[in-house]
Amino acid sequence: MSEERVVAESSQGISSHNHVDFMKPPKLSFKLHKLSELPDAFTPWESVELPIDVLLVTAKDCEFLSCFSYLRNPHQSHYRGLGIVHFGEMVDVKHKLNVCLIRCSEGAAAPGAALSKVNTAVIILQPKAVFCVGFCGGLSYEKVKLGDVVISAKIITYAHKKVMNDREQPRGYEAPVSRDIADLIKHAASGWKPPIMKKPEVDWEPVVHCDGVILSGPELVNCEWRREELLERYPKAIAIEMEGEGIFAAAHDLKMEWVVIKGVSDYADGNKSKTEEWQPVASVMAASVVANMLKFPGVLKDWEHYRGLKHPPSGSSSALGKAVLAGAVMVLLIAIMYFFFTSPQANIKDFRIPKDDVIDTNPKGTPPEDPLTTLLQSITGGPPGQVNYKGRTISYRAQGRIHSLDEPWVYDGTAWDIQSGTKAKVKHYEQSGDAVKDAVAEVIKKLKEQGIIKD
């Protein structure tokens, strides 16, 4: 079932504005193509120039054909998941703008509609910005007229609400465009000339509303009571349409620039059939404004293409985790180098034991270790060793470890009597030599307490 909900006039809901005169639309300055007249130039996908600069999204035939009329050197290709995709260029006298034109189903969230279509297209085509172009309904007879172009300074998703016994509470989302888009649309009307053959006999001059508030939702509103109800709830809104909600949702999730640009073709008041001829004209007005915005030299030159979301896939370490790990490794390396150059290795000369009682069993004249071995030994507190104390052989070793930011590297010392297995371990020393000395002293103390050796 389509997501579209048609709100039409009932037998008792005939428009109260039958006095409004709906003029005939002016003639365009060029002939709008028919679908059967489109050129059949086809480019294999492997030869398509990617990434593109601008993605144009349309829903209705006249919206698509209006945008197509402004493409230079158009050609088409096919990609599974996107279908037929049309490529071309738009006017930029100094920098070529690569443009892609696609069609979606009507509405925001239905299969193939704006949300899913844009999600797929952006990932594949990698544009700098997404423009939703076409026609819309006006909400105010005083603020807009047929043929005007409304640009979304803000989109309001009006259909979300909480329904209670006595009232409804709106729960829609108000989404302004980004700073860069806002700066761009301020000048959308600069130098713009509506593409009409001649000025109509009646007083008609289309206006570009650069600060428009547009309602977007699943309803195809065509009745006076619903229109008035929405205007009462959202008095600043001047237009209503169906695809913008999906465009915004997709662009928001993908961190993309987006904007909705649509021409007014009716007033959503039950008289849509009377103004149906305005739909292609309103769409052309919107497409011509897009072309006018993009004609300025280098207007998107410094904007970034979509390059994927800036976070790792599920299951991998986060950027913060990687930064913490890198910092920890750096601290570890600094600590290792510091203690390598400043910490004395465990040596028998450092022991506070009478020299006559201690014999160093490490061989003299041992050639120095290579630098890598020495560095590795510094991590563990130096090589293990032995001392003889009153005929007892006592082995010792020191081991380094990470402790805290204040004390990044400390040493633990272990010593044991070979014959009896008597063992002692001491912890948390700044230097490996001190850890070994105290460990050996503890073993000697235990041997004396056990009566194995005497003073």
Q: List the chain pLDDT tens, one digit each, 455 residues.
A: 444 455 654 433 334 444 455 788 999 999 999 999 999 899 999 999 999 999 999 999 999 999 999 999 999 999 998 999 999 998 655 678 999 999 999 999 999 999 999 999 999 999 999 999 999 999 999 999 999 999 999 999 999 989 999 998 888 899 999 999 999 999 999 999 999 987 666 678 999 999 999 999 999 999 999 999 999 999 999 999 999 999 999 999 999 999 999 999 999 999 999 999 999 999 999 999 999 999 887 889 899 999 887 544 444 445 555 666 666 666 666 655 555 555 444 444 444 454 445 545 444 444 445 555 555 555 556 778 888 888 888 999 888 888 777 777 888 999 999 888 899 999 999 888 888 899 999 999 999 988 888 87
> Other C-beta atoms within 10 Å of 402: how many?
13
Rg over CA atoms, the chain: 39
pLDDT value of residue 410: 86
Distant-in-sequence, close-in-space partners of 176: CB < 8 Å, separation ≥ 6:
153, 154, 182
- The structure tokens listed for 92 are 């930029």
- The structure tokens listed for 12 are 């008792």
- Are 389 and 357 spatial neighbours (Cβ–Cβ below 8 Å)? yes
Torsion of CA 272, 275, 278, 283, to 10 degrees: -10
pLDDT value of residue 101: 98
pLDDT value of residue 17: 47
- Are 257 and 180 spatial neighbours (Cβ–Cβ below 8 Å)? yes
Q: Domains of the chain by range and CATH?
A: 35-199+209-295 (3.40.50.1580), 371-450 (3.30.160.320)
State the Cα–Cα distance between residues 72 and 388, nearest whole angstrom.
Answer: 93
pLDDT value of residue 308: 84
Q: For the range 315-323, what are the long-range contacts, defined as Cβ-Cβ under 8 Å and sequence gap of 24 or more?
A: none
pLDDT value of residue 453: 87
Strand duo 129-138 + 257-266: pairing? parallel
pLDDT value of residue 18: 43
Alpha-carbon distances of 147 from 71, 131, 135, 237, rounded to whole Å:
22, 19, 9, 17
State the Cα–Cα distance between residues 283 and 264, nearest whole angstrom.
Answer: 8
Three-state DSSP string of the chain: CCCCEEEECCCCCCCCCCCCCCCCCCCECCCCCCHHHCCCCECCHHHCCCCCCEEEEECCHHHHHHHHCCCEEEEEEEECCCEEEEEEEECCCCCCEEEEEEECCCCCCCCCCHHHHHHHHHHHHCCCEEEEEEEEEECCCCCCCCCCEEEEEEEEECCCEEECCCCEEECCCEEECCHHHHHHHCCCCCCCCCCECCCCCCCCCCCEEEEEEEEECCEEEECHHHHHHHHHHCCCCCEEECCHHHHHHHHHHHCCEEEEEEEEEECCCCCHHHHCCHHHHHHHHHHHHHHHHCCCCCCCCCCCCCCCCCCCCCCCCCHHHHHHHHHHHHHHHHHHHHHHHHCCCCCHHHCCCCHHHEEECCCCCCCCCCHHHHHHHHHHCCCCEEEEECCEEEEEEEEEEECCCCCCEEEEEEEEECCCCCEEEEEEECCHHHHHHHHHHHHHHHHHHCCCCCC
CA atoms within a 13 Å half-sphere pointing along the CA-CB vector of 158: 27
- Are 191 and 292 spatial neighbours (Cβ–Cβ below 8 Å)? yes
pLDDT value of residue 328: 64
